[in-house]
Every structure is written in structure tokens, then in C-alpha cells.
Structure 1
């Protein structure tokens, strides 16, 4: 922060802060939003007919939680696992249960790697 303040004055810093409020975040936070928009679009395209509609906020990383319990309405690791399992099932995937090498059976039960 010291280097930033040594390079620009308070007036310019205030101008950049105002610009960011109007145009949205600059830097990595903007890339996170782009990725979240893409992720929510893909999740919505693959959700069930009566499934919950996803928003970009569902996929934004929540930084600096410092081990605190997620506030009400925020997703926990278990919530993420349930979501991943439901998306996997909706797309015809199989849960390998952590078996090394994974399950090679397709939806019909046949081994996908057999020649």
C-alpha cells in the first residue's frame, strides 16, 4: 500500500475508487466474476427442469473466511459437495467413491475402457 501511495496522490486514488464503483471491480476480482457468470450459465443449462436457478454469486469465491462458520445463506464445503454430486448425477456421471483410478463403468454398467 505504501508504494501505491508513493506513486499516486489521494485525488487520483479517489478517482480510481469512483471508477471501480461505476464499472465494477478491476483486476482478479473481475476475472472471478467472469468465471462465475460462465459457471452459473453452465450449471443452469444442465440443471433439472425444476432445479434451483443458479446465480453468479453462487460461484464467487469467498475470501478471508479464516475458518469461521459460513453465515446463514452461504454455502459450506458440504453444500458444494452436494451440488457437485447432483450435477454429476444429472449429467449421467458416476461417483467413484474415491477409488483410485475411478469407476470405468458407463451408465449402462458396461466397462468403458474394454476393447
Structure 2
């Protein structure tokens, strides 16, 4: 699916929700999660090179968020992303 087709079939709100989800959980695209594979390789290399303490793959994988964010902070990011994508928000929707 092209970007144009995606934008024609998906609302700004849904795109914003997916963006917020991805920011919390990490990339959805498995190819973007090569950090896990790289972590395994890096730990193997470090351990075979005689690392002082046994390295684990997680020692080499970045942490997406170092601290727990409040729902208000996450909501603020969702609203910023929504605005950046040209979306609007109807506070009465769903009531």
C-alpha cells in the first residue's frame, strides 16, 4: 500500500494512536527491531572477547523510554502528533 492509499483509508486519529503506541512499545516494523539481533551479536562478541562480566543482549539494546510517563504526558504527545499530521480533535466525539 502506498502512503497516499494509507492516508486515504486511515483517519488522522488512528494514525496518531498508532504513533503513540509505537512510541511506547518501540517500532512495529520487524526490520526496525534489528536492535535485538544486534544485541545478541554484540553480547556474543563481548563474551567471546573475555568480557569481565557476562554480557547479555539487553546490555546492548536501547531502552525506548527510561522513565514511566504519566497518561497526561502521553496524551500531550498524542495531541502534538495529531496536530503535526494535520488532524483535529472533537472533544464531544464518543460521548
Report the TM-score range of the alignment, normalised by the length of the smaller protein: 0.3 to 0.5
TM-score (norm 1): 0.40
The higher radius of gyration belongs to 1
TM-score (norm 2): 0.48
Higher RCO, Cα 8 Å, sep 6+: 2
